[in-house]
Amino acid sequence: MFTILNLGIAFTCIFVYHFKIMECLRLRRTITSILAIIILLSPLMSIDVSANAEISPSGISYWVTNSPVIYDYKNINFTNDKLIVGGYMVLPVTEFFDYFGFYQYEWNNETKSVTITDGYNTYVIYSGTNYLLKNGIMIQAPATSLIYNGKIYASLKVMADSLGLKTLYDEVSDSILLTTNTFFFNSSYTYEDVYWLSRIVYAEAGYESYEGMVAVANVVLNRVRHDDFPDTIYGVIFDKAGGTQFTPVSAGTIYNEPSENAILAAKAALNGYNNVSWCLFFFNPRIAKSTWIADSCDFYGSIGNHDFYF
């Protein structure tokens, strides 16, 4: 069976032969140019079905995402790719369930389905469907389950629903949030406030005492309330007025997962616990390369390795 390239070459050769007889040089050159174009474009016109071999059923549009999945402020680290299908995240089924407990899995190659059980509940997911069965009851999914690189994937939302987890998309951190609790926050702060404040606390004072972590959190909050700084926690942390304000932002450690104590310290500060009054600055005098804070601000006191200033 002729390919596009074969037909193009055959077609061109026939016409070149006739044009040679007619000694029509201009037309011969034109046809030769067409032949060159066909040869150059033939890879683009061919259909490479092997490119879709990793997806089943075929024809599902997807892309790989790096958006974090966070369970109660802690990142869930997945070994395999996370995908977006139809605007929703889909995840490897076994990795998701394994994070939340001990499960057994049985794959049915005939029905392209996986059965998951913990001894109390049974979950069944079929590739190519938009639902999950929990103890025989159907739970609708916003995205189609599929087989990707030899592993079955399903909607994060439907798997979370089946385990009684609540989900929320956080725009600031571009994350999917999971919790067994309700997404209720103190009226003065939000989930992303805890997310970023706990990370700057951990990056700046992760090896300090609890009091030292609370103090760093309060410096950030004091700046939020001050007219000379941005009016959000995210804005203060990533503020670049006069240069990057916090070393962990330029170093990239701001994105490290916080410890439990850092999260607790951030929440304590957000709930009103302040141990450094209205301090707006802090630094470690043992490693600081600049002394402008000490030279131009009023000293408040030291907590651990940090000195705090008004």
Q: Does residue 73 lie in a domain region? A: yes
Number of C-beta neighbours around residue 38 at 10 A = 17
Same domain, 73 and 41: no
Residues 250, 228: Cα–Cα separation, whole Å: 21
Rounded CA Rg of the chain: 30
Region for residue 138 given its phi and psi (left: phi exceeds 0; alpha: psi -120 to 50; beta: otherwise): beta
Strand pairing of 104-108 and 88-92?
unpaired
Q: Once rounded to an integer, what is the mean pLDDT over residues 50-66?
A: 78
- From the list 231, 234, 232, the residue with the least C-alpha distance to 174 is 234
Answer yes or no: is 197 within a domain. Answer: yes
Query: pLDDT (tens digit, 9 = 90+) per residue, 184-231?
Result: 556 578 888 999 999 999 999 999 999 999 999 999 999 998 888 999
Decide if pLDDT at 73 tops 90.
no
CA angle 166, 171, 176 (to 5 degrees): 35
Assign residue 80 the CATH number of its domain. Answer: 3.30.457.10
Share of the chain above pLDDT 70, in %: 81
Of 303, 306, 305, 213, nearest to 258 by C-alpha is 213
Is 174 a member of any domain? no
Cis peptide bond upstream of 248, omega within 30: no
Nearest to 268 by CA among 194, 203, 159, 176: 194
Does 14 have pLDDT greater than 70? no
Residues near 2 by Cβ (< 8 Å), separated by ≥ 6? 10
Nearest CA-CA partner of 7 in 47, 29, 34, 26:
34
Instruction: Supply the pTM of this predicted model.
Output: 0.57
Claim to verify: residue 41 and residue 99 sit in the same structural domain: no
Domain membership of residue 135 as a residue range:
63-166
